[in-house]
Amino acid sequence: MTNVVLLAADALIYFVALAGLLRLRDRIGLGPFFCALGVLHFLETYLASIFYITLPLGIVTSPGSTVLFTGKLMLLLLLYIREDAAVVRQPIYGLLFGNVLVFVLGFVLRHHTLAPLTAGRAADFAFLDEMGGLMVWGTAILFIDCIIIILLYERTRAWFGDRVFPRLLVSSTMVLTFDQVAFFSGLSLLTGAGVPVLIGGWIAKMGAVALYSVFGTVYLLYFERPQARESAPRLRDVFDTLTYRERYESLLARTGCDPLTGTLDRHALETYGRRAVDGAAGTQRPLSLLLIDLDHLNSVNERFGRSAGDRLLKLTAREIMSAARVFDFTYRFGGEEFVVIADGLAGDDGLALAERIRHAVAMATGADPAGQMTVSVGVASTFGDGDSYDALFMTAAGRLAQAKALGRNQVVGPQR
């Protein structure tokens, strides 16, 4: 049990120190926090390659993976929660660049003619190669880990609401399970580590996840307060959609939320939505605009009352947002019409999203006392349907009318 207690102490010291730097970012900037992560990254990789301890039940693990890496991922998630994905990318890019540079310099250094200093001591180039390879591999996995954990953290809002602890716990558990398998593949190749390291490391990481989730919850609830966001700059890499999603949550928390359905409202569509569509068209980026109309909602209101109609309207909005991707934007355009803006999708991909929404709404409302609700969808995409918000909207409206004319519960989009 001594090793368990020491690991917990390591985790507490690590988290308090790094979270303290994160908390002081308004005074001293994020540079000290990023530098500390970079320095500890070397120790993390060194320990993960040669330093292992035994825990109860015969578990074998390394403090580098269990304490330092798990803590680093949790701290990057906290950085995203309090800042955004545009900030999270900075230390990851720095680590990746630095690790590749270590690998390259190590290759050059081995060609030097060395001067003997002390008998029995010589440069260990094999170890340097091993460390360089592990650091590059680990940072590449970290890049993927951060994308996945941010997406999962946002998705868990639908499961747990604003309860921080289960959202941190579930998203971290899923990502670190993937990470353990991915990192072990490189570790096994470079160092010959066996299956007990894989299994023991995973069990230890799950314990660390639970501990860090408690630490993170305490930090978010008692030492930080939500910060107001400024408008996002235009980003041009894989973190764009994650940052846009964070802005979307910020819009919902302020004035752009439709009070009945929880989607963004028409005012937000005319400001943020229009800017997103025009920006995609101007930069030749694929994007689809879906105009969705509930079929026969007026008859439901007449037969069963407005409360039944509102219930189906809210259920439909929920299914639209659930069927859409985590970084798609959903707006209520009018009484029974919704607009979905799907950045990155065009053509058949936009049609597939519309079909997924249509099917989800029909399935979710099949047992409703007021009867099944269906939707008709008109789809318009860049690269053929227009180069502005107004052009795409008019095209989608025309295709929605075609879907209604075909008998409703239909999707009409670009011709294949």
Beta pairing class for 411-412 and 375-381? parallel
CA 19 centroid distance within chain: 21
What pLDDT, in 10s, does the model give residues 373-384? 999 999 999 888
Q: Are 354 and 290 in contact (CB under 8 A)?
A: yes
pLDDT at 337 over 50: yes
* Angle 269-271-272 from CA coordinates, rounded to 5°: 75
Domains of the chain by residue range: 2-111+123-222, 263-412
Using the 8-state DSSP alphabet, how is residue 254 labeled?
A: T
Q: What is the pLDDT of residue 185?
A: 81
Q: Can you name the CATH fold of 263-412?
A: Alpha-Beta Plaits (3.30.70)
Using the 8-state DSSP alphabet, how is residue 324 labeled?
A: S
pTM above threshold 0.75:
no
pLDDT at 331 over 80: yes
Q: How far apart are CA 135 and CA 201, in angstroms?
A: 18
Query: Average model confidence (pLDDT) for the chain?
Result: 84
pLDDT class for 229, splitting at 50, 70, 90?
Answer: very low
